Amino acid sequence: MSRRRRRQWAVPLLFLAPSLAVMALFSFYPMLHAIGMSFHRWRILGDAQFLGFDNYTMLLQSNQFWVALRNTLLFGLITVPVGVVLALGSALLLNMPLRARGFFRGVIFFPVTVSMVVIALIWSWMFSENYGIVNSALEAVGIEPQNWLAEPTRALAVIMVMSIWKGFGYGMVIYLAGLQTIPETVYEAARLDGASRRQMLWHITIPLLNPTTLFVTVISFIGSFQVFDQVYVMTEGGPGYSTSVLVHLIYELAYVRFRMGVACAAAIILLLITVAFTLIQIRFIRPQTGEGS
């Protein structure tokens, strides 16, 4: 490599060096350390003992792990498609020249800006059996109050609905940005050819938004696999383990039972699942975006 070529590489690397050093210290090293610890027994105090794949075997034989994995996948497979549809629908509606559309955009996006812990606490109060506003409304129309957060299927459903409501505003903003990139001349040409609004939606808008859909879907799925705050605040994984998810299980293994090796193994499994789902989404959505595979 020539001296000039080395200088061309050296200058950007010099500017990137501080950021790369921070990433290496706080991201790459902990990740590599977690991979190593997943093959050890370590209870924080004392030396680590090498176990090979025993931690992974123990997890795969644990009913609690499979319940947490099922709940995590169910959470992602329901909240992500519903959230993407709501985000796209609200973006299409609020991209039209409506009165006070800026206000409605702000209302939909506002929950995104609020802490998940705060939102989870408010929803816990709303769905309280004794003093919740939801049960008060049901009683007003003659329906018996429900113990929403103490019944397995209802508790998980409440968490899903809250997560969708809080998060789809983020996708709406991304879709609004994508809609601004579609040239108006494309719609004008379609109108001249006699295309209806529905035909323009299905044959112009949605296909041209495929790159945006890919981004929103991937980001949403990654976020759904990291669900923790709302579960911890609203149900703590209960009743039983009916609302436990993988991140909550990792927290419990690491900081309640102090089984750091098993917790690291669960974290590595979660990482592999997240990467697999991301690659699957890219594989099925990218060919429709017009980009290379």
Tell me if 50 is assigned to some domain: no
Q: What percent of the chain has pLDDT over 90?
A: 41
Q: What is the DSSP letter of 143?
A: P
Choose from 13-17, 79-83, 273-277 the range with maximum mean pLDDT: 79-83
Counting the structural domains of the chain, the total is: 1
- Quote the CA–CA distance of 44 and 253 in Å, as a whole number: 12
Chain segment 143-165, per-residue pLDDT in tens: 888 888 888 888 999 999 999 99
- Quote the CA–CA distance of 228 and 244 in Å, as a whole number: 9
Angle in degrees, CA 259, 38, 277, rounded to 5:
110
Half-sphere exposure of 203 (CA within 13 A, CB side): 12
Residue 287 pLDDT more than 70? no
163 is in which domain, residue-wise? 64-288
Is the bond into 239 cis (omega within 30 degrees of 0)?
yes
CATH number at residue 130: 1.10.3720.10
Tell me if 21 is assigned to some domain: no
H or E segment at 50? strand 49-50
Tell me if 230 is assigned to some domain: yes
Residue 293 has a pLDDT of: 42
Tell me if 30 is assigned to some domain: no
Tell me if 112 is assigned to some domain: yes
- The tokens describing 250, both together, are 């990792």
Residue 3 pLDDT more than 80? no
- Quote the CA–CA distance of 12 and 263 in Å, as a whole number: 38
Tell me if 47 is assigned to some domain: no
Q: Supply φ then ψ for residue 150, to 5 degrees.
A: -110, 0
Tell me if 15 is assigned to some domain: no
Chain segment 244-280, per-residue pLDDT in tens: 999 999 999 988 888 889 999 999 999 998 888 888 8
Tell me if 58 is assigned to some domain: no
